[in-house]
């Protein structure tokens, strides 16, 4: 009896060991093992702060005395929706998105189609167009400030020929937002050129050759072949553009020059600038967290609407 029980015990241990060996050698286990470090880092630096921020959004809390936090429900959200400064920032972000995203998308597509042709020094042009995206935003903003400076700015003098005022655009309530739009488009268009170039490589050359046989010219090829077959890429470009533009912060921060964020007079205040000001300048962590989640909700809603209108074509 004891011998049989001992044998059964050995068989169970052997089976468990074999199961462990099988699990350890399975592709699924190895895959999870490889992604474990990044999952732990994401949990530590992204998901946990996200959860804490969500909790803060329902509290009256500041970073100087977090132990005095108290639960106030939806009061932060209600206060934000009744704050004129928030709606001014939301309006600026909406205008920036509505103008900058379509412009940079169209420019990126046209430039990518041109670079995809058999032109000389194609690699050089790709690099030149991509450089603004990887260049320091603060440095780029500073250079643009010199270009749009009153009297001495090259861009200011150029636009003055068309009847626009000879003023420092970044310091004018009227021209500060257009200045930010131009700066944003110039910053991101190069990145989307590279994205479109990747999409153009997926279009078979046989399709263009067949269309030539049927008598299609370059313009017809662009509208009947290139644009329709790039719809998945265009959706990616639009969604990325909306997310990037709605999160614009570095440029207004550089324009403030250690002054009030959103200067001049709130003309360059965006919803991210509003969130940062409330959370860190005014030390209202709960209020700022609520603003951050409103930004997140807006981006999600816009993404869902865009996907709703394009999902049949993708």
How many Å apart are CA 290 and CA 11, to the nearest integer?
Answer: 58
pLDDT tens-digit profile, the chain (314 residues)? 444 445 455 545 544 454 545 555 567 777 788 888 988 999 888 889 889 889 999 999 887 777 888 899 899 999 999 999 999 999 999 999 999 999 999 999 999 988 887 667 777 878 888 888 888 888 899 899 999 998 888 999 999 888 888 898 988 889 999 999 999 999 999 999 999 988 888 888 888 888 888 888 888 888 888 888 998 899 889 989 998 898 899 888 888 876 677 888 888 899 999 988 888 888 888 998 999 899 888 888 888 887 777 655 55
Q: In the prediction, which pLDDT does 20 show?
A: 47
Q: In the prediction, which pLDDT does 281 show?
A: 85
Nearest residue to 98 (alpha-carbon basis) of 185, 27, 168, 208: 185
Q: Considering the entire predicted model, what is its pTM?
A: 0.82
Q: Helix, strand, or coil here: 59?
A: strand
Radius of gyration of the CA atoms of the chain, in A:
27
Beta bridge partners of 70: 60
How many Å apart are CA 191 and CA 312, to the nearest integer?
Answer: 26
- Evaluated on CA atoms 34, 38, 40, 43, the torsion sign reads negative
Q: In the prediction, which pLDDT does 312 show?
A: 52
Q: In the prediction, which pLDDT does 13 show?
A: 53
Q: In the prediction, which pLDDT does 258 show?
A: 67
Would you tell me how many other CB atoms lie within 10 Å of the CB of residue 177? Answer: 20
| DSSP code string of 137-156 | HHHHHHHHHHHT-TTT-HHH
Q: In the prediction, which pLDDT does 311 show?
A: 58
Residue 75: burial class (beta carbons within 10 Å; 0-12, 13-18, 19+): middle
How many Å apart are CA 288 and CA 76, to the nearest integer?
Answer: 9
- The architecture that CATH gives domain 77-313 is Orthogonal Bundle (1.10)
Domain coordinates of the chain in residue numbers? 19-74, 77-313
């Amino acid at each position: 009896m004891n011998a049989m029980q001992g044998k059964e015990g050995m068989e169970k241990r052997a089976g468990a060991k074999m199961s462990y060996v099988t699990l350890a050698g399975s592709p699924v286990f190895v895959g999870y093992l490889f992604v474990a470090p990044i999952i732990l880092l994401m949990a530590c630096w992204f998901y946990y702060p996200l959860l804490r921020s969500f909790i803060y959004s329902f509290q009256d809390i500041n970073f100087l005395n977090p132990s005095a936090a108290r639960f106030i429900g939806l009061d932060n959200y209600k206060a934000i929706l009744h704050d004129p400064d928030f709606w001014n920032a939301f309006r600026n972000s909406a205008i920036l998105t509505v103008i900058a995203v379509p412009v940079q998308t169209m420019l990126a597509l046209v430039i990518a189609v041109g670079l995809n042709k058999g032109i000389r020094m194609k690699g050089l042009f790709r690099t030149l167009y991509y450089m603004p995206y990887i260049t320091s935003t603060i440095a780029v903003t500073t250079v643009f400030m010199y270009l749009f400076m009153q009297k001495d700015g090259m861009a200011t003098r150029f636009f003055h020929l068309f009847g626009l005022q000879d003023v420092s655009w970044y310091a004018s309530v009227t021209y500060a937002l257009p200045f930010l739009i131009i700066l944003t488009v110039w910053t991101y268009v190069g990145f989307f050129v590279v994205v479109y170039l990747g999409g153009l490589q997926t279009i078979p050359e046989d399709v263009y050759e067949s269309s030539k046989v049927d008598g299609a010219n370059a313009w017809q090829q662009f509208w009947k072949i290139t644009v329709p077959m790039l719809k998945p890429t265009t959706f990616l470009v639009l969604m990325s553009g909306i997310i990037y533009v709605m999160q614009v912060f570095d440029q207004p921060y550089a324009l403030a020059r250690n002054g009030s964020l959103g200067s001049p007079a709130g003309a360059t205040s965006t919803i991210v600038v509003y969130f940062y000001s409330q959370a860190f300048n005014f030390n209202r962590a709960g209020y700022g967290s609520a603003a951050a989640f409103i930004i997140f909700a807006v981006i999600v809603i816009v993404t869902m609407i865009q996907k709703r209108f394009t999902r049949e074509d993708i």
